[in-house]
Amino acid sequence: MRRAGRVGELFAGTLGLLITLGISFLIAIVLIFLLSSRPLTTIYYFFVGPFTNKYYFGNMLNTAIPLVFTGLGMAVAFKSSVFNLGGEGQVYSGALVATVILLALPERNGYLGGPTALAAALVTGAVLAGMSGLFKMKWGTDELISSFLISSAVIFVVNYFITGPLDDPSNSMLATHAIGSQYRLLGIFPPSKLDISAVFAVLAAVLVFFLMYYTHWGYEMRMCGLNREFSRYGGINVSTYVVLPMVISGALHGLAGGITIMGTYYLAVKEFSYGMGWNGIAVALIAKNNPLGVLPAAVFFAYLDAGAKAAMLHSDVTFEIAAIVQAVIFYLITAQAIYDFLRYRKRPRI
């Protein structure tokens, strides 16, 4: 009976998401008719543009890769009832650390320097997020506030290094020197930027799903997420599951930064990662914190971004108009996901 109830609840949630998606697209179409002098062309490129050639399609999937990692990081945190609002700084700092290591090892083999840089990016994100978890465990500091404040401070520090000591004066952008070609991830769908990190993203989703649903640690994290007091009486060390989910969440965010440097940009550009952390929150909410659901949710977000860019290139819409249409869809979909999340949290436990 309980299983039937869960299936019914899943169906209702999916139906609600589809209805919200339909309403969002309808509003987007209305806005395009109001704001564009060539609405049919704009609509075509906004919704179909990402699939019109290999370059657009591959870049769309490439954009989804860091969102998979940030979405997974947020899903782990939310499942454990901790809140990591420091994703922006964790992605950005992970990218910088990876870049510094790769620039410091210009003559090394890519098979040595690449994993070292990714491991360092992972550790950087884990430490930054883990600090917030530690503060909460030791002194009861709200991790939502502390993670946001730490992230905000770290962004200024990273900006200083990119525009100061590490700046490449020969580059017209505010950016570091480029990493060596041996450290660049293998492209798999030319002429787009899509690279082998797409495989890493899928593997990461599978591994996080296995961790959360098929391991002792995952079970205890989920139990603490449902009810910490009940978990405490059941003998679970709840303090551990304040820090551990934050560490895992930060590690995934840091890894997103490192992979983006090695697979897409090949150098650290000032504020290149803007939005990755925040969009990861929306991705996790749309996926209902299911690690496997993060994959299609991230692709959906990337699809909207690619559609907006295609519409700007091939019709008369400006960046601002495309951003408005995109934002309407984002907000409605995210609001519906947040509503489902809060309703789930408030439902009676049996």
Task: Please name which of 132, 59, 68 lies closest in space to residue 279, comparing C-alpha atoms.
Answer: 68
pLDDT at residue number 340: 63
CA distance 256 to 277: 10
Query: What DSSP line would sit under 18-79, residue for residue?
Result: HHHHHHHHHHHHHHHHHH-SSHHHHHHHHHTGGGSSHHHHHHHHHHHHHHHHHHHHHHHHHH
Q: How far is C-alpha 191 from the chain's CA centre? A: 24
pLDDT at residue number 305: 86
Amino acid at 29: I
Please check whether residue 164 lies inside any domain of the structure. Answer: yes
Q: How many CB atoms lie within 10 A of CB 298?
A: 30
Highest mean pLDDT among 80-89, 252-261, 283-292, 315-324: 252-261
Secondary structure E strands in the chain: none
Task: Please name which of 254, 107, 115 lies closest in space to residue 179, comparing C-alpha atoms.
Answer: 107
Please check whether residue 4 lies inside any domain of the structure. Answer: no
What confidence tens digit (pLDDT) does each residue in 24-61 have? 788 888 888 888 888 899 899 989 999 999 999 999 99
The one-character DSSP state at 179 is P
Domain that holds residue 229: 55-310
Count structural domains, the chain: 1
Please check whether residue 344 lies inside any domain of the structure. Answer: no
Please check whether residue 322 lies inside any domain of the structure. Answer: no
User: Residue 210 pLDDT > 90, yes or no?
Assistant: yes
Q: Which CATH number is 93's domain given? A: 1.10.3470.10
3-state secondary structure of 86: coil
Task: Please name which of 198, 187, 192, 193 lies closest in space to residue 53, comparing C-alpha atoms.
Answer: 192
Instruction: Give the pLDDT mean for 251-261.
Output: 97
**Tokens in use for 277?**
């952390």
Radius of gyration of the chain measured on its C-alpha atoms: 21
**Tokens in use for 65?**
């890769």
pLDDT at residue number 11: 59
Please check whether residue 334 lies inside any domain of the structure. Answer: no
CA distance 75 to 339: 16
Please check whether residue 137 lies inside any domain of the structure. Answer: yes
Please check whether residue 112 lies inside any domain of the structure. Answer: yes
Please check whether residue 153 lies inside any domain of the structure. Answer: yes
4-7, long-range: CB within 8 Å, 24+ apart, which pairs?
none
What average pLDDT is seen over the chain? 88
pTM: 0.90
pLDDT at residue number 350: 43
Lowest-pLDDT choice from 137-141, 294-298, 308-312, 334-338: 334-338
Residues near 111 by beta carbon (within 8 Å), at least 6 away in sequence? none
